[in-house]
Chains A and B, each alone.
Chain A
């Protein structure tokens, strides 16, 4: 009879125990070595000085979100507006779509920027609150207003003087969007208010909200009659309690990033908190899917171009920003990406390209729409941590 093979190094309880104990000892020893803590990541303009080599180096490294740049329909590798910029200025742009998530991107560049080192990027595009954090940490460079005259002239008034960039010279909006409500008419009746979303019985378990705190909480604050651009901790807690009731009752199915879009299209989600850009794209394919701007108000957010510390082509970056604030170029871009165009005067240009898009208030918001939209207030690090923790507790993590 063959004896079953006996492995020569069995993993045993004793082996596991002694392994675990010696690892613990190693850790304790190492802990002493690492016991000095970490340095602060805050940088100052004098402490972390960046050099600008734009005069001699005609290159620019541009990190942006996917599908955020116009491409030639016949040849996906051609980007008409960007190509025109390259040929008119001679600046060679390396365009990388490597921003998929603000938090994830923060993790990617955090160690370099905290240590005042180069990230290899001259422009990165980040959402308001992440831009605010970068500014607060002193991780981005101030731009020269004289070199971006188009921005100074054409930036949409509702995007000027934002609390994290009062002089409009650090974070330059690339595209903007609205956070409001959306519903799928195939599975639900029209929805008008945030309260309906959170309480209507026929939507129970078929509702999602965004895991982006500022968008979801901004809408809730507004539905309580408070101003997301200026609110107190007690008002925040009120709005959060309202959200918690909807989570506890099972009304809210889950919290999402962009991934709500396919589920809304399929009808697994009947109604949700949504971003206008996504919903425009969905309703182009299925007109039952509609974006709703509740009367209590919507949230206006932007993705902003920032020049990180130690980026060596600030001048080239400014040239690009200035170029994209020419109304004609902005209209060309907006015709492709369908977000809110932050450039005044682009609407007139768009009428020449596509009058239907020019009339769309979700791309060129009218006065009525703009008066309903708010930008979430800039938070201090302490506020951000406290609000974000409370919010994460409610959304389950």
Chain B
């Protein structure tokens, strides 16, 4: 969501080659998308920003006065920082887990799968054909206290006799990992698929070990996909509330659950709006730091 915000604000530079013939064409092409973004993203965002500054003493019945109540932000953060930090912790762990699973998967599909490539790709995408909610509910059945998985883990003593998976942080992180995995695998696959295999041959001709070739050729060349994938994974995961709601307990609730409750249950619109903006700001901050540390200018 935050990544899209730049589109209307910063018209992308166009190739200068044929500028003389249709000077307005790029802007015309931009128009439908930009209008869409402005109406359905820009304006609601402005409305939300205004809401976050309304007088918190207002109510639905009496209306809200605009008092530029900047205090809504620190107040919201103070009340809900545990859920905030939990969101980033869970999303972070899930990203690492997804990377550990997703990189080998994308690598295998892109470079080793041969004629099975398309089938495997469909397998990655197929779960997305059903609703997010249904997939998460299916995990409830898999992780159920009396299900085969928990039974197995108890038998091999990885879990206590009355241990459980459902309604624990483990379940929430597993759910996040599973639900957003395709967002990580697909960009990685796209960038690994472009990898020129001859570079790896050259590396081994020059006495690089397979590990060395991976580290010095494959990994750097897949970096754009890796960064795009982890971002596409991390951003929705940190704002998610379905997994915590269905697979967790109140002690696992993330910031998305709090925003949901502020808007729909408690009807505290200024606080809900302030929390939404804090989430956006925090995600942006994480993305900045990450891009800086990852040391690359290009992502997509």
Contact = CB atoms under 8 A, between A and B. Distances in A.
Interface of A: 1-2, 4-20, 22-23, 26-28, 30-31, 33-42, 103-104, 106-107, 110, 114, 136-137, 205-206, 247, 252-255, 259, 263, 266-268, 381-382, 385, 388-389, 392-397
B277 to A, nearest CB: 9
Interface stretch (B95-103, B110-118, B177-185, B257-265): B257-265
A393 B253 CA distance: 11
A392 B249 CA distance: 13
A31 B46 CA distance: 6
Interface string B56-67: 001111111110
A22 B6 contact: yes
A164 to B, nearest CB: 15
B287 interface: yes
Interface in B234-282: 246, 248-253, 257-258, 260-261, 263-268
B46 A396 contact: no
A259 B245 CA distance: 11
B33 to A, nearest CB: 13
Interface residues of B, number: 71
B161 interface: no
Interface in B1-19: 2-3, 5-7, 9-10, 12-13, 15
Nearest to B63: A40
A37 B49 contact: no
A11 B65 contact: no
Nearest to B2: A20
A396 B83 CA distance: 9
Nearest to B299: A11
Contacts of B62: 40, 42
Nearest to B196: A2
Interface string B109-148: 0000000000000000000000000000000100011100
Contacts of B50: 30-31, 34-35
B146 A266 contact: yes
Contacts of A392: 261, 265-266
B198 interface: yes
Contacts of A7: 298, 300
B196 A253 contact: no
B291 interface: yes
B63 A16 contact: no
B205 interface: no
A199 to B, nearest CB: 17
Given A7-B300, A35-B50, A253 B167 contact: yes
Given A31-B53, A37-B65, A247-B250, A11 B167 contact: no
A34 B196 contact: no
A42 B59 CA distance: 10
Given A11-B299, A31-B49, A397-B253, A268 B146 contact: yes
A1 B144 CA distance: 54
B59 A34 contact: no
Contact of A5 (B13, B194, B292): B194
A13 B261 contact: no
Contact of B221 (A4, A13, A205): A4
6 contacts: A13-B291, A22-B9, A34-B49, A37-B54, A37-B64, A110-B60
Contacts of A205: 162, 164, 167
Nearest to B247: A254
A189 B126 CA distance: 43
Contact of A107 (B7, B146, B264): B264
A2 B196 CA distance: 7
Contacts of B166: 268
Nearest to A114: B60
Nearest to A396: B250
A392 B263 CA distance: 12
B153 to A, nearest CB: 15
A38 B266 CA distance: 18
Nearest to B259: A397
Contact of B46 (A27, A104, A137, A247): A27
Which among A8, A15, A104 has the greatest number of chain B C-beta atoms within 10 A? A15
Nearest to A14: B297
Q: Which 9 A-B pairs have the closest CB atoms?
A: A19-B6, A396-B250, A30-B46, A34-B50, A22-B9, A40-B63, A10-B298, A397-B261, A37-B66
A382 B61 CA distance: 11
A206 to B, nearest CB: 8
A13 B253 contact: no
B45 A11 contact: no
B47 interface: yes
Given A11-B299, A107-B264, A396-B253, 5 more contacts: A20-B284, A23-B6, A38-B64, A252-B249, A266-B144
